[in-house]
Amino acid sequence: MEKKQLTSYNQYIKRKWAILIGMLVLLLAACVLSLSAGSANLRIADILRTLFGGGNRQENAIIWNVRMPRVATAMVVGMALALSGCVMQNVLRNPLASASTLGVSQGASFGAAIAIVYFGAGIQVNAGGAASALTVTSPTIVTLFAFLGGIATTAVILALARFRGTSPATMVLAGVAISSMFTGGTALIQYFADDVMVATVVYWTFGSLGRAGWSEIAIIAVLSTAAFGFFFCNRWNYNAMESGTHTAKSLGVPVERLIVVSMLLCALISSVAVAFVGCISFIGLIASHIMRRFVGNDYRFLIPCSALCGSILLLLSDVVSRVLVAPTVLPIGALTSFLGAPLFLYLIVKGGKRK
Amino acid sequence: MIEIKDISFSYPDADILKGVGFTAESGEVVGLLGNNGAGKSTLVTCLNRIRKPKTGTLTIDGKNAFQLGRNELAKTVAYVAQKNELTHTTVFDCVLLGRKPYIKWSVSQEDLDICSRIMDRVGLLDYQMRYVDELSGGELQKVMLARALVAEPKLLLLDEPTSNLDPKNQYEMMALVQEVAKEKGITVITVIHDLNLALRFCDQFYFLKAGEGYSYGGIETVTPETLQAVYGIRAEVLDVKGRKTVIIE
């Protein structure tokens, strides 16, 4: 009987592995799709040939200098946002937690705006001031300020959760208030800035995956991978947290330390992502909710699957943003909100029916 | 043997526990009794360091459990909370979580075997792949008990394990706890409100009154005088079909 029991458990675990592998395959497919989307009309065969070193000069330039940085940005930013959403929802015991709903992204955005306008992190404007040619001249300063903005928000949320014992609903309301405060702050900065700066900050808030270069991608990738390592090493602790903090403590989880370190890492990776690509909402919130439907609340699988799902969602959103009204590229932040909100509502309704 | 000595706990504005202590043998079920707010749940959570007591020690088989590391303590003292947050996970995964203090990088065959054996023992064999958020109260409490038992503890702390169960499930649950405690030599300390359930299944009775121990001992210590002093109720303790039964006036 025991053997039979273990067989069905092993089959169940194999199904989760199959889902994880399926997500990896989907990610590869989304990468190829994203590389093929654009005005240059490259066929998938051309793309694959170029990727393996057989492309001509023009194809190499398009793939490696234009599309690949964009794809890499979408992958690492999607992963960062999804990881932070997944872990925040766990440690705050709040299914609505994510960098954007708790105001962390808005705080980071505010910090980045200060760095751009007042601290010479500046913007380099190429080709007659076209918005698409705006790039950050000092990513380190922008990152630092974005992180400070994000971390300040995180500190307020942690303090509310710890000292006032706020309910999940109150915490999200606090996030709305904090977001509103930072949005107001960003508006004030715009009000007092000159025209170019206003355009820059407004453009910044739209979010764009074309903004990050390889050095920025490397920073987000290194930080997100390190955070992923920490989160994955703590997967059993997160599983225990799902049963409540008392049970987690009784199972040997250092609850307070886990919450603080996890939240700081979430704030770091989401702030850095915001610093380089602007505010991108809903990816962090919905990626883990989608994956929970397939792998349950088992963080052994939920953490890697959410990371992959975040990357896939952002890659597909980017494809939509480029092809919907081509050759105009729609702002990715606006698009993820536009598409993410209905999807989230659908998940809520479906979840309600299931219960 | 379990020895609890001089446990005190206070919040900045109130002393909750004042020098509480007693001893219990392996395989014994100790009922923690007292009014709401007497400090029963606080005592239970102090014993596994969920709350840090101001003073006191817990000695298990001669070793001071409070000096053990987090994981070692979790292997020695298991706990079933009064309220369990339900998550969308299978019964097997939920029970397997109890092996967390033993799991290093991946789950071993031994972990899986122990979970299977315990689930079999508590009657969860047919539920292993069901989701815990779809179970009834009685089934759920069995899952929580199984999760605590797979840690192979020496001391099992239960905080009102029968509070949300119907009478049939209450009796089944407590009978299971009593049987497993005897079989595996685990000392069980359980917070319990139903006096007749306690009389039926507990070996020792520790009455707490306003954070202090009022009386401790076997079934003979459950008297109308004790109940009057601890709960402020008038009650009779009668022999009904050979069992002591409390009848509240």
Does residue B91 contact residue A8 with C-beta atoms inside 8 Å?
A: no
Choose from A85-94, A95-104, A307-316, B191-200 the range with maximum mean pLDDT.
A307-316
- The edge-to-edge listing of strands for the beta sheet with B2-11 is B14-24, B2-11, B55-60, B63-64
Note the pLDDT of residue A32.
86
Average pLDDT over residues A45-61: 77
Query: CA B132 → CA A224, A235, A351, B118, B144, distances in Å?
Result: 32, 19, 16, 17, 10
- With contact defined as beta carbons under 8 Å apart, do A272 and A212 qualify? no
A43 has pLDDT over 80: no
Contacts of B23 (CB under 8 A, 6+ apart): B1, B2, B3, B4
Residue A140 has pLDDT above 70, yes or no: yes
Kindly report the nearest CA distance between residue B104 and chain A, in angstroms.
10
Residue A71: both structure tokens together: 């794809």
Q: Which of A251, A257, A302 has the most B C-beta neighbours within 10 Å, making it the best mutation to test the interface with B?
A: A251
Q: How far apart are CA B76 and CA B60, in angstroms?
A: 8
Provide φ and ψ at B51, rounded to 5°: -110, 145
| Of the candidates A30, A35, A118, the residue with the CA atom closest to the CA atom of residue A78 | A30
Tell me the CA end-to-end span of chain B in Å, nearest whole number.
38
Task: For residue B102, give every residue at least 6 positions away whose Cβ sits within 8 Å of its Cβ, in sequence order, or none.
Answer: B75, B108, B111, B151
Burial A66-80 (b: 16+ CB within 10 A, else e): ebbbbbbbbbbbbbb
Q: Is the pLDDT of residue A181 over 50?
A: yes
Residue B213 CB coordination number (10 Å)? 20
Residue A175 CB burial class (10 angstroms; 0-12, 13-18, ≥19)? buried
Greatest mean pLDDT range, A196-210, A286-300, B217-231: A286-300
Contacts of A297 in chain B (CB under 8 A): 87-89
CA distance A3 to A10: 10
Query: pLDDT below 70 — which residues of chain B?
Result: none
Q: pLDDT at position B96, please?
A: 92
Cross-chain residue pair B100–A236, CB shorter than 8 Å: yes
In chain A, the N- to C-terminal Cα span, in Å, equals 31
The ipTM (two decimal places) reads 0.84
Q: Does B77 touch chain A (CB under 8 A)?
A: yes
Other beta carbons within 10 Å of B74: 25
**Encoding tokens for residue A35?**
């590389």
Give the torsion through C-alpha atoms of A265, A266, A268, A270, to 10 deg.
Answer: 160
Average pLDDT over residues A129-158: 71
Nearest CA in chain B to A2: B116
Instruction: Give mean pLDDT, residues A46-60.
Output: 77
Q: Which of A12-21, A283-292, B169-178 has the lowest mean pLDDT?
A: B169-178
Q: Output the CA–CA distances (angstroms, integers) from residue B2 to A47, B60, B181, B182, B220, in the order listed.
A: 70, 5, 14, 15, 21
Tell me if chain B has a CB within 8 Å of the CB of A11: no
Q: Which residues from chain A sit within 8 angstroms of residue B90, using beta carbons?
A: 12, 296
Alpha-carbon gap, residue A58 to A61, rounded angstroms: 5
Please determine, for residue A132, whether its predicted confidence score (pLDDT) is greater than 60.
no
CATH class of B2-248: alpha beta
Quick check: B112 contacting A, CB < 8 Å?
A: yes
**pLDDT: which is higher, A130 or A242:** A242
A247 in B contact zone (CB under 8 Å)? yes
CA-CA-CA-CA dihedral for B131, B71, B157, B126, to nearest 10: 30
Q: What is the DSSP letter of A188?
A: H
Closest by CA to A59, choosing from A83, A35, A80, is A35
Q: Report yes or no: A297 at the B interface, CB cutoff 8 Å.
A: yes
Q: What pTM, to 2 d.p., does this model score?
A: 0.83
Domain boundaries, chain B: 2-248
Q: How far apart are CA A280 and CA A282, in angstroms?
A: 7
Nearest-by-Cβ selection for A249 from B50, B83, B119: B50
Is residue A130 over pLDDT 70? no
Which token pair is B117?
């054996």
Name the A residues in 168-227 with CB < 8 Å from any B CB: none
Yes or no, beta carbons of A2 and B117 under 8 Å apart:
yes
Q: What is the pLDDT of residues B41-76, one digit of tens each?
A: 899 999 988 888 889 888 888 888 888 888 889 999
CB A84 within 8 A of CB A133: no
Domain A2-354: give its CATH superfamily: ABC transporter involved in vitamin B12 uptake, BtuC (1.10.3470.10)
By C-alpha distance, the chain A residue nearest B110 is: A6
Residue B49, chain A, CB below 8 Å: the answer is yes
Please indicate whether, in this complex, the C-beta atoms of A246 and B103 are within 8 angstroms of each other.
Answer: no
For residue A144, the Cα-to-chain-centroid distance in whole angstroms is 18
Q: Is A43 on the interface with B (CB under 8 A)?
A: no
Can you give the three-state secondary structure of chain B, one letter per residue? Answer: CEEEEEEEEEECCEEEEEEEEEEECCCCEEEEECCCCCCHHHHHHHHCCCCCCCEEEEEECCEEHHHCCHHHHHHHEEEECCCCCCCCCEHHHHHHHHHCCCCCCCCCHHHHHHHHHHHHHHCCHHHCCCEHHHCCHHHHHHHHHHHHHCCCCCEEEEECCCCCCCHHHHHHHHHHHHHHHHHHCCEEEEECCCHHHHHHHCCEEEEEECCEEEEEECHHHCCHHHHHHHHCCCEEEEEECCEEEEEEC
Report pLDDT for B232. 84
